[in-house]
Amino acid sequence: QIEVEDVPAGTALVISLGGAQIGTATANSFGNARLNLNSKRGDTVPMSVTGMSVVVTTAAGAAVVSGSF
C-alpha cells in the first residue's frame, strides 16, 4: 500500500516501483491518494520490495515524492 497526502484534490498520480509503473491514483477532496495492491483481487504484487525505490509523479511527470523500502 502506498499513500500520498497533501496534494491538490483531483491530481492524477502515477506510482512506480523500481522504475516500473505499478499503478495510478487520484487525490480525493482531502488531497489524499492511495494505491492498494491485493493479489486476491487479481493485482500483480511484487514478491519483495526491500531496497527498491518508489516514485510518485503527476500524470504530467512532475515529481511528488520518492523514497525506498
pLDDT at 32 over 80: yes
Residue 5 pLDDT class (50, 70, 90 cuts): very high
State the cell numbers at 50.
Answer: 526491500
Residue 28 pLDDT class (50, 70, 90 cuts): very high
SS (H, E, C) the chain: CEEECCCCCCCEEEEEECCEEEEEEECCCCCCEEECCCHHHCCCCCCCCCCCEEEEEECCCCEEEEEEC
Gap between the Cα atoms of 20 and 22, Å rounded: 6
pLDDT at 48 over 80: no
